[in-house]
Amino acid sequence: MKLDAIVAGVGMTPFGKHMDTGLKALGAAAVQQAVADAGIGLDALQAAWVGNAAAGLVTGQECIRGQVILRSIGLGRLPVVNVENACASASTALNQAAAMVSAGLYDVVLALGVEKLYHPDKRKSFSAFSGAVDVEAMAEIVERLQRSAKQSGAKSGASGAGEKRSMFMDIYAAAARGHMQQYGTTVEHFAGVSAKNSYHGSMNPRAQFREALSVEQVLAAPMIAEPLTRPMCSPIGDGAAAVVLVSEAKARELGIAKPVRVVSSVLRSGWDHEYADEGAGDVCSREAYEEAGIGPEDLSVVELHDASAPAEIMAYDYLGLCPKGDGGKLIDEGATKLGGRLPVNTSGGLLRKGHPVGATGIAQIVELTEQLQGRSGDRQVEGARIGLAQNGGGNIGSDVAAMCVTILKT
């Protein structure tokens, strides 16, 4: 459906390692910031959608995650919908909240994403990612990843998936090797993504990592799973991000002078297809452009799901930012760096801002909203008018499990 919901306020905690801060405190901080930014009280909220992926595994909080978080700040009575959809949990929460406002069911709603992934037992953290594949096929998946690594001569990637690191780094590593073989993409291109995003993240006070890295530093870092060095892999993290969405009538009542509109949000699951065929990313981006009445050439700024550096280059392809396979050229040209023709991941992306999986999708919306409102300080994209967020999660067979593409306009 065509959407017409307006972002009235945004809030976000710094992402990072918050061992002594619980889900409730993280979520509460983001909500209170978003409500204050919207200029309303908590009592104005009519419904809430709360995205979280891993609390059950990492903290033990199941079933009523959103209610527990919101009740801690005195917010009860309203309907709360808990949303779990892998790394796309928060963008799915936003998708549903925006649809309900656009349909006229509510005038003021909350979309919140919150996650805690750090745990003294690292295996608990990694288990959150191992559960985002078909666990009944786990042995087959691990065997396939190890076979792919050995056939390519990879040593680090030949063992340890899901034990020493997130299994998804091995999935991304295998995809990266395939992209290099098919399109001639190089490891220097992947390092260029990490270096670019580290430059952006160095200017973001809410980013988990603030050190700017060179391509050479990225390449010299410890190997995780060939060809991915550590800075090419997004870190786990804790954090929360929130958005208050309102109807057109409520926006006028609040006197929002420069509204940021959610004009399109397309959510799909993946399907079984051949590697070369179009997948969820291709279809979601095409439908999002059609709903918004724009093309990729109209975009001002993009926040995309760079859970690994190769994932960013692959997303360039299916978002239509370049001809298929030419993502590496965008890095060579500096096209997606601040000052380039289409800055991507001005927040630092998942690689540097961090990746508390259940919060990531709404953190992207926070960054884009602030960009479109001219509130991004040193990271500001001049004249930004249209922003796109792409957020995917999970993996089944040859495709992502969940994919969401959202477009914002001023």
- The pLDDT value recorded for residue 164 is 67
* Known active-site residue 87: yes
Contact between 357 and 53 (Cβ < 8 Å): yes
Q: Which residues contact 339 (CB under 8 A, 6 or more apart)?
A: none
Percent of the residues in the chain that have a pLDDT greater than 90, as a whole number? 86
Q: pLDDT by residue (tens digit) across 234-280?
A: 999 999 999 999 999 999 999 998 899 999 999 999 999 987 789 99
Instruction: Check 63, 87, 284, 404 and give the catalytic one.
Output: 87
Q: Could you tell me the CA-to-CA distances from 164 to 158, 160, 197, 358 in Å, in that order?
A: 12, 5, 25, 22
Q: pLDDT by residue (tens digit) across 93-103?
A: 999 999 999 99
- The pLDDT value recorded for residue 289 is 98
Q: Which CATH superfamily is domain 5-120+236-409 in?
A: Thiolase/Chalcone synthase (3.40.47.10)
Is the confidence at residue 157, as pLDDT, over 60? no
What's the predicted TM-score (pTM) here?
Answer: 0.96
Of the listed ranges 1-15, 41-55, 146-160, 324-338, the least confidently predicted one is 146-160
Across all residues in the chain, what is the average pLDDT?
A: 95
- The pLDDT value recorded for residue 206 is 98
Contact between 327 and 370 (Cβ < 8 Å): no
For residue 182, give both structure tokens: 């098919």
Q: Among the residues of 255-355, which ranges form H helices?
A: 280-292, 309-318, 327-333, 349-353
Delimit the domains of the chain by residue range: 5-120+236-409
Is the confidence at residue 214, as pLDDT, over 70? yes
DSSP conformation letters of 141-169: HHHHHHHHHHHTT-SGGGS-BTTTB-HHH
Is the confidence at residue 158, as pLDDT, over 60? no
- The pLDDT value recorded for residue 360 is 98
- The pLDDT value recorded for residue 152 is 77
CA 314, CA 333: separation in Å to the nearest integer? 17
* Amino acid in position 151: Q
